[in-house]
Amino acid sequence: MSENKQIIDKKIDKLNALKNQAKLGGGEKRIDSQHKKNKLTARERVDYLLDNDSFNEMDALAHHHSNSFGKEVYLGDGVVTGFGEIDGRKVMLFSQDFTILGGSLAEQHGRKICKIMDTAMKIGTPVIGLNDSGGARVQEGVSSLGAYADIFLRNTLASGVVPQISVIMGPSAGGAVYSPAITDFIIMVKHSSYMFVTGPKVVKTVTHETLTSEELGGAEVHSSKSGVAHFVAENDIDAMNIVKKLLSFIPQNNAEEVPIIPTDDPSNRFDEALNYLVPANPNQPYDIRDIIHSLADNSDFLEVHKDFAENMVVGFIRLAGRSIGVIANQPAVLAGVLDINASKKAARFVRFCDAFNISLLVLEDVPGFLPGSDQEWNGIITNGAKLLYAFAEATVPKITVITRKAYGGAYDVMNSKHIRGDLNYAWPTAEIAVMGAKGAVEIIFKKEIEDAENPEEKEQDLIIEYNERFGNPYIAASYGYIDDVIIPQDTRRILINAYELLQNKVDKNPYKKHGNIPL
């Protein structure tokens, strides 16, 4: 018996030694180097992100089998994978380890990631990727490239089935950027993460531009200019806190209902300040976020894409504990006009919410589409159509509140009754018309104004008359295009009752393989 115990103990000791070796990653020197860059290691990130003692690692003993260049073998092959819990909810995740061969991706590394993605699809849990990699491992050649493509396929198949969140916590270059790009949300870390298809050296050779990695593909660039990044974090800890908060609004998969978080914020709470928020002067701006915060449970609003296309505001709130996706024109930026970037930003958000059963709230104050050759030549037609398509296709509960302007084709696009808006409300300050008063008068009464004794005075009189006739919500209400004109202070209570009514709504699209959204 004692001999048997010795044999078993020896085997257990060997296993423990191997697991301890795996936990060391690339060794203490490289771990210290990671810390000097103000970055956590792959395992430290996992430990912080997940609930205490909930992590179950998979494939810790996997390693490469290549003999092409060198024979250095590291257990885990540069990525930590497994499953655990965040706030008691199961997640699958991978965390690339930059201390091992620069976190480079190759055959075994890719297989590990694919395995947790396949498992997530089977059981219906979110996938979180903590990306910190120097790219494809050159030593493994085409096997590295194939591993990337294997991951891209799974990203695509999982899209709209389970939520996918990518956190960029270091470099992500070349082919590596396409996996995060297919996922639902990208979080980047200031001054320590960057994404680009071709790096600064190649760019300089080809275009003669001299750029740093930060200038070419840093967090601030991708959050404000390209729109690639949805969130920007101050550091690794902040990035993972964003992941936790984001997941709190999202169901586990496309077959589940949204999480409901109990709240002490009364459903019948009213805010008299909303009655006077919209300025009497139609050209005067106000911040749509003031309305969003007023409506939300405890004023809590998680804004998505905050620094990109700021004339459109999107993000998550809760109403009576229920997660709601908000799409709102922002009168404080470009008068809330729809342009290419705003349309794309909103369309992608609408489609995400629809895929995961998150009801939509539209706050509308839009003067139309942005005119100009730049917009036309860069495809405002097809890009504006993306938003129209997204709203028309969506089958989740959809409610619109028109706070002020709803002009022209933009009125149709912003979840109007005509494209299956379920309940459409307007404030008394709403103006629903083909265009603003001045433009309309100049077209309709051009000759009368020119022939008038005092053209300016005549034009002003006609503008006043036009506003009295069309600068209100009552004509639309008379046709039933607006379900009710409501007092602004009552908006929260009315919305909560409306979403409760719609919670069992069933709306279906015709059978199809998939639609052909105007990409």
Q: Which of the four pLDDT bands, split at 50, 70 and 90, describes residue 429?
A: very high
110 catalytic, yes or no? no
Q: For residue 329, is it within any domain?
A: yes
CA distance 227 to 485: 36
Contact between 418 and 425 under an 8 Å Cβ cutoff? The reply is no
Q: For residue 339, is it within any domain?
A: yes
Q: Please work out, in degrees rounded to the nearest 5, the angle formed at the alpha carbon of residue 363 by the alpha carbons of 359 and 364.
A: 130
- pLDDT of 68 over the 70 cut: no
Provide the strand spans (E) within 281-414.
302-304, 312-319, 322-329, 359-366, 398-407
Question: Averaging pLDDT over each range in 71-85, 141-155, 339-353, which range is the top one?
Answer: 339-353
- pLDDT of 88 over the 90 cut: yes
Angle, helices 437-444/455-470, rounded to nearest 10 degrees:
120
- Joined together, the tokens standing for residue 468 give 């009295």
CA distance 326 to 103: 37
Tens-place pLDDT, residues 95-119: 999 998 888 888 899 999 999 999 9
Residues 464 and 496 in one domain: no
Residues 339 and 454 in one domain: no
Residues 378 and 392 in one domain: yes
Q: For residue 255, is it within any domain?
A: no
Average pLDDT of 290-298?
Answer: 98
Contact between 26 and 97 under an 8 Å Cβ cutoff? The reply is yes
CA distance 76 to 74: 6
Q: For residue 174, is it within any domain?
A: yes
- What's residue 401's pLDDT? 98
- Joined together, the tokens standing for residue 308 give 């990109």
- For the chain, what percent of residues have pLDDT higher than 90? 74
Residues 399 and 452 in one domain: no
- Higher pLDDT pick, 293 / 17: 293
- The domain boundary residue, chosen from 200, 215, 248: 248
Residues 302 and 352 in one domain: yes
CA distance 345 to 126: 22
Q: Which helix (H) or strand (E) holds 4?
A: helix 2-23
- Joined together, the tokens standing for residue 456 give 């300016």
Pairing of strands 398-407, 359-366: parallel
Q: Which of the four pLDDT bands, split at 50, 70 and 90, describes residue 17?
A: confident
Q: Which helix (H) or strand (E) holds 156?
A: helix 142-158
- pLDDT of 437 over the 90 cut: no
Tens-place pLDDT, residues 157-179: 999 999 999 999 999 988 889 99
CA distance 449 to 474: 27
CA distance 6 to 3: 5
Bridge partners of 423, per DSSP, are: 399
What are the Cα distances from residue 469, in Å, to 24, 281, 414?
A: 74, 17, 23
Catalytic entry in 410, 426, 433, 498: 410
Q: For residue 511, is it within any domain?
A: no
Average pLDDT of the residues of the chain: 93
Residues 287 and 359 in one domain: yes
Residues 21 and 138 in one domain: yes
Q: For residue 392, is it within any domain?
A: yes
Question: Tell me, what CATH number does 283's domain have?
Answer: 3.90.226.10
70 catalytic, yes or no? no
174 catalytic, yes or no? yes
Smallest Cα–Cα separation from 308: which of 279, 337, 344, 275? 344
Catalytic entry in 26, 82, 110, 174: 174
How many structural domains comprise the chain? 3
- pLDDT of 49 over the 70 cut: yes
- pLDDT of 330 over the 80 cut: yes
**How many Cα atoms occupy the beta-carbon half-sphere of 369 within 13 Å?**
24
- Joined together, the tokens standing for residue 255 give 């077959």
Q: For residue 514, is it within any domain?
A: no
Q: Look-up: residue for tokens 């309309």?
A: 440
Q: Which of the four pLDDT bands, split at 50, 70 and 90, describes residue 462?
A: confident
Residue 249's CB: how many other CB atoms inside 10 A? 23
Q: For residue 253, is it within any domain?
A: no
Residues 476 and 376 in one domain: yes
**How many Cα atoms occupy the beta-carbon half-sphere of 148 within 13 Å?**
23
CA distance 274 to 328: 16
Catalytic entry in 124, 141, 199, 409: 409
- What's residue 463's pLDDT? 85
- Joined together, the tokens standing for residue 170 give 């270091």
Average pLDDT of 477-501?
Answer: 97
CA distance 454 to 277: 35
Distance between first and last Cα of the chain: 70
- Higher pLDDT pick, 472 / 490: 490
Contact between 249 and 259 under an 8 Å Cβ cutoff? The reply is yes
Catalytic entry in 84, 175, 408, 421: 175
Residues 236 and 100 in one domain: yes
Tens-place pLDDT, residues 197-242: 988 998 999 999 999 999 999 999 999 999 999 999 999 999 999 9
- What's residue 1's pLDDT? 63
- pLDDT of 312 over the 90 cut: yes
- What's residue 71's pLDDT? 62
Residues 305 and 213 in one domain: no
- Structural domain of 94: 2-248
CA distance 216 to 488: 45
Smallest Cα–Cα separation from 91: which of 224, 252, 218? 252
Contact between 96 and 79 under an 8 Å Cβ cutoff? The reply is yes
Residues 356 and 458 in one domain: no
Residues 155 and 35 in one domain: yes
Question: Which distant-in-sequence residues (6+ apart) come within 8 Å of 305 by Cβ?
Answer: 223, 227, 230, 314, 345, 349
What are the Cα distances from residue 18, in Å, to 13, 60, 436?
A: 9, 9, 72
CA distance 354 to 393: 9
CA distance 458 to 363: 34
26 catalytic, yes or no? no
Bridge partners of 128, per DSSP, are: 93, 165
Pairing of strands 312-319, 302-304: antiparallel
